[in-house]
Amino acid sequence: MKGRIALVTGAGSADGIGFATARALADAGARVAITSTTGRIKERLRELGARGGHIALTADLTDPEAVAGLVAEINAKLGKIDILVNNAGMVQTGRKERARLFHQIEAEEWLRTMDINLNTCFHVTRAVLPPMLKRKYGRIVNIASVTGPLVTNPRSAGYSAAKAAMVGLTRALAIEVADRNVTVNAVAPGWIETGSSSKAEVIAGRNSPAKRPGRPEEVAAAAMFLASEASSYVTGQMLVVDGGNTIQEYKGRSADYY
């Protein structure tokens, strides 16, 4: 990664997937721009180490004009972006989201869910892609989820739809840009324990074949491979990081079956 410029969105949480990925990229020699919707991103920059030439910027990625300004600032301060990790989504720092059954979802809530989990990816990728095509190099990694593309839960219709759409976008874009040395892939985490994990989510991870939730660093490792030059012939793929949870058919106590 030495000499590469990377942008990681949704990196405001100290124990989240975004910051774990940013830290891995920085450790590998990339200069990293991290973004979030709150001032906490400045704290993450201090933890990342400003001596590496990294920067932290606050931006609302649901706003195309804000995204254009963000990318322009990164280009001016660091250079053209080689690696994009679209991690923003699920919940927005500092804003509480409500989970509802499908028939109870208000239109405004549905659109907000699409904005956070899908349109952020669209806006940032659209802003970053043209220079990649011109320079004939780029790595785009979309942090999706197993929820939507492979499995789902009650009260997750909006999130599931957005993440399934993100994987569809990944594949469609990969075909369009493959001959320009730009790869587009997705990582699909399962039960990953972060600061925002509920008690039920942690228990679900313990009932996976691995008998534990995943760690943000394990998702970051998958993203790092897809962001590297070693993955040059991998594009349009979804790499699942879930401790084998989506392949197990029996969902009860393992002692009762396995």
Q: Is 233 a catalytic residue?
A: no
Give the span between the Cα atoms of 187 and 144, in whole angstroms. Answer: 6
Cα 1 to the chain's mean position, in Å?
Answer: 19
Q: Measured between alpha carbons, how far is 231 from 91 in angstroms, rounded to an integer?
A: 29
| Integer Cα distance of 191 and 242 in angstroms | 6
Q: How many Å apart are CA 157 and CA 168, to the nearest integer?
A: 16
H or E segment at 6? strand 5-8
Which amino acid, residue 43? E
3-state helix, strand, coil in the chain (%, to 5): 45, 15, 35
- At 211, the amino acid letter reads K
Q: Which of 137, 159, 250, 257 is catalytic?
A: 159
Q: Per the structure block, which two tokens stand in for 193?
A: 């324990």
Q: Which value, to the nearest 10 degrees, does the dihedral of the CA atoms of residues 115, 117, 118, 120 take? A: 70
Q: Which residues are catalytic?
A: 159
